[in-house]
Chain A
Amino acid sequence: MASVGKIARRTFLIGTAAIAGGIAVGYYYYRKPYPNPLEGDLAADEATFNPYVKIGVDSTITIVAPRAEMGQGISTTLAAMVAEELDVGLDQIKVEHGPASYAYFNAAMLEEGGPFAFFDESMTAEIVRAGMGVVGKFLALQGTGGSTSTLDGFGKMRQAGAAARQMLIAAAAQKLGIAAADLETANGSILHKASGKSLTYGAVAATAATMAPPADIRLKDKADWKLLGKPQKRIDMLAKVTGAPIFGIDVTLPEMLYGTVKMSPRFWAKPVKADFSNTEKMPGVIKIVPIDTNYGHGFGIIAENTWAAFKAAEAIDAEWADPEYPLDSAGISEVLKQALGTKGSVMRDDGDVVTAFADAPRERIVEADYAVPYLAHATMEPMNATAQLKDGVLDIWCGNQAPTLVRQLCANAVGIEQDKVSVHTTFMGGGFGRRIEVDYALCAALMAKETAGRPIKVIWTREEDMRHDAYRPASVGKFQARLGNDGIPVAVDMTIASPSLIASTLLRLFPSIPPLGPDKSIVDGAYDQPYTIPNYRVSGIAAPASIPVGFWRSVGCSINGFFHEGFMDEIAAAGKVDPVELRKRLMAAYPAAVKVVEKVAEMAKWGEALPAGKAKGMAFTLSFGSWVGEIVQVADTPSGIRIEKVWIAADVGTALDPDIIEAQLISAAIYGLSAAMGQEITFADGMVEQSNFHDYDAMRIFQCPAFEVAILENFHKMGGVGEVGTPPAAPALANAIFALTGKRIRILPLSKEVTFA
């Protein structure tokens, strides 16, 4: 990473790291192929064709799906890409996550990171977008995030399957003495129809793997797909209904010790006093050790069982230094408000906003201030990792979204070379962006230095997890519109201030890389929406970083979806234009967007009269390459507002697995509604006030609305699906509450103003 810092000339703050500007610089490294990481670890009767395919002599086919499975179904869809071209069913293959390796870089994760809207296909945007993909490989991240996995895998994983199939056919042609063109494949065998001769994949795998990969890889036409585009049974479902030990927290090793951590509740503060004299004598407690990382300071408790570690952590008598940020939520909010008054980076500037507002009559102006709070990820599985350091070799088992980061930073922390570290990535009990961090792995790695070679499983309590997150940043926005005589806006001016999550992430992961350039995540979801308004300005201001902030499902769009679409609803109300009509008019230049809006309106019977005490609200956000409209229906009940139904229409370009996509859209909407209804992380005395699900809850089954989903494929580029349901959920709900009550709520969570049933 240091070398990246040296060559950086101009830097965009994108993705998970600062990306060096000059595209040509990394070109040589991009062209240099990575070695196949499967070669070093093959069974005696196995052959590998590329980093994604292994075939045994018994025709056991193993596909590597190198993205983290955190519930989004990615292992199934990635495996289906390879299986489709390899001409085998999903029931004929085994799927593995694979090792940490730069061969599994995620180019798409960074491709959409440039300062261009998704729909901007100008030459410059296309070149920079392609260049960012190159830089992604140069930095060689193996990340799962940004709803990029299917997009990233779609080309290379189908090619991996097709290349292996062509090599198998070539080997069979040699063995049978029949021209390759006369052979076909089905169900893991190569057939010669005319003679009835056939060979299994396993019978020719060893020979095939030694052949030169085909120069010309032929992919199936979409019309010939057997797996892709159709719902598949998830490969992880049986394990998940039988309670199988598939998560990081389930790792069990011989001679294993147990542990937990007690980190400073004030971020980055060091202990000024700590007394272990009583705690180290507690039954089951072995040792208490200091932990110091870029994430903060505190202690690790090594014990004979988890409960003993938890009790000791609670009993440690420690005092912590004062923080270097304001002590409470009021002070932290004040910093944000002050930032809003400073000059930021203009990320969209159509027309001439200043002139458009200069002569605006007062009654044609709409103004509003919006704010959202810090949020925790609160994955169901608390942070944990298991580590063993023996004979200079470190093994780490954990669910994580970035195995190569885990490997690199844990190697540094322990003081060994990266090639002495093996990362075993397990299934994750939720990720949502939290497990792109590596703090849980660092804690386990450092504690493994203190156990004389024994493995140790380090599990955080829920309280520790809730109070040591990389939070969704709080944000504030100032919005102004000028309406024309027809009620349609002729000018909008949006200014948004938020602590930079890119700068904050760099502090934790790569403190030597300076955060240069604007952080576009501050305005994501506001500057890049498919609205045409003649004068349209969006500015982002990076407020001073204090609380650690990071990637939370849909990132900046989780904030700006609410701001932008809440404000659009205000514009519609002020201009006396129907909110659906307003979108259709302003998005007319983007037919995919219009079709989404029309579809969701049709599904929800928008415009038809509702019984008294019920109302609907709508919102639209283009994020991660997918165009999503949502309509929420609420009802006034004696016990509070009930969310009755949610309609979602989403254009994802190409839908690879409709069932998984529908499940993700609903999941992401519930994630957004949960936050909008009641979630908020607040601070007092420099510490997070919330600690567990009693004071940071999420939607429960009795609050869950009915859902109706339509998946569209009108746009010519594929979009992501894991996050795109989140951004429109909060504004659609707030807009429905406005329609129901007349109360315009501009500050989340909504529970500050209304009660939910």
Chain B
Amino acid sequence: MRLTVDGQAFDVNADPEMPLLWALRDFMGKTGPKFGCGIAACGACTVHVDGQPVRSCSLPVGEVTGAVITIEGIGSEGRLHPVQQAWLEEQVAQCGYCQAGQIMSAVALLDQVADPTDADIDDAMGGNLCRCGTYPKIRAAIKRAVVLKTSGI
């Protein structure tokens, strides 16, 4: 099957039942999305499909019809997405394992709601678990990203 991931086309010869996460990690070298639970309970594997945040650990690769964007596709060193820049400035990460998923959920939130309330943040980010407890900084970084985005960074 053919997939578009981070703007690049991949021909993947995998079991269509295989979750998108493992196709990304084991077949396409996209290790940014992380394996945490396999049952869509922790959000570490969050990627965008057609702009929507999805838990790639629970979406069969054979059912993917739209373009996939991972953490590696939204920005990179020297060319950070405003949400990544906000994460850097707020020094959010501790172990960092969940942060790719957190950032992808936050990017999707800000694409839909330009200036989210605390309740919006709770709703959008509740599916992303962090065992280091970086939640206060995640909230602060989302608010900082709003400012960075409106100032055109």
Contacts and interface: CB of A to CB of B under 8 A. Distances in A.
Interface of A: 70-73, 233-234, 236-247, 249-250, 252, 258, 283-284, 305-308, 310, 378-382, 427-432, 459, 461-462, 659, 663, 666-671, 674, 692-694, 697-702, 704, 706-707
Contact of A702 (B32, B39, B126): B126
Nearest to A256: B26
B144 interface: no
Consensus secondary structure, chain B interface: loop
Interface string B63-88: 00000001110011100100010011
Given A308-B15, A380-B98, 19 more contacts: A71-B95, A242-B75, A242-B77, A244-B32, A378-B131, A379-B131, A380-B36, A380-B42, A381-B36, A382-B36, A428-B95, A429-B95, A429-B98, A430-B95, A694-B39, A700-B135, A701-B128, A702-B122, A706-B136
Given A305-B26, A702-B126, A707-B136, A461 B131 contact: no
A71 B87 contact: no
Contacts of A704: 133, 135-136, 139
Interface of B: 14-15, 18-19, 22, 25-27, 29, 31-39, 41-42, 44, 70-72, 75-77, 80, 84, 87-88, 91-100, 103, 121-123, 125-126, 128-139
Contacts of B93: 71, 234, 236-237, 240-241
Contacts of A659: 91
A233 B100 CA distance: 19
Contact of B95 (A243, A427, A698, A700): A427
A305 B41 contact: no
A305 B14 contact: yes
20 contacts: A238-B88, A239-B96, A240-B93, A242-B75, A245-B32, A249-B34, A249-B35, A306-B26, A307-B15, A431-B95, A432-B131, A462-B38, A659-B91, A667-B134, A693-B36, A701-B126, A701-B139, A702-B122, A702-B126, A704-B133
B92 to A, nearest CB: 7
Nearest to B39: A692
Nearest to B125: A701
Contacts of A71: 93-96, 132
The 7 closest A-B pairs by CB, nearest first: A243-B32, A670-B133, A429-B97, A71-B95, A240-B96, A71-B94, A243-B71
Contacts of B37: 462, 692-693
B4 to A, nearest CB: 18
A481 to B, nearest CB: 33
B34 A669 contact: no
Instruction: Give the most central of B19, B129, B132, B136: most A CB within 10 Å.
Output: B132
Nearest to A258: B26
Contacts of A429: 34, 95-98
B7 to A, nearest CB: 15
A430 B25 contact: no
Contacts, number: 178
B138 A701 contact: yes
Nearest to B128: A701
B131 A380 contact: yes
Contact of A430 (B14, B31, B131): B131
Contacts of B136: 666, 704, 706-707
A250 B36 CA distance: 13
Q: Which of B29, B34, B75 has the most CB of A within 10 A?
A: B34
Nearest to B23: A307
B112 to A, nearest CB: 17
B29 A252 contact: yes
A702 B117 CA distance: 12
Contacts of A667: 94, 132-134
A330 B31 CA distance: 43
Contacts of A283: 15
A376 B75 CA distance: 35
A506 B31 CA distance: 36
B95 A70 contact: yes
A462 B71 CA distance: 22
B91 to A, nearest CB: 6
Most B CB atoms within 10 A — which of A258, A693, A707?
A693
B90 to A, nearest CB: 10
A199 to B, nearest CB: 32
Contacts of B14: 305, 307
B30 to A, nearest CB: 9
Contacts of A671: 131, 133
B126 A307 contact: no
A506 to B, nearest CB: 27
Nearest to A699: B133
Nearest to A239: B96
B29 to A, nearest CB: 7
B133 A241 contact: no
A725 B67 CA distance: 43
A462 B91 contact: no
A668 B94 CA distance: 12
B42 A693 contact: yes
Contacts of B132: 71, 380, 430, 667
A241 B29 contact: no
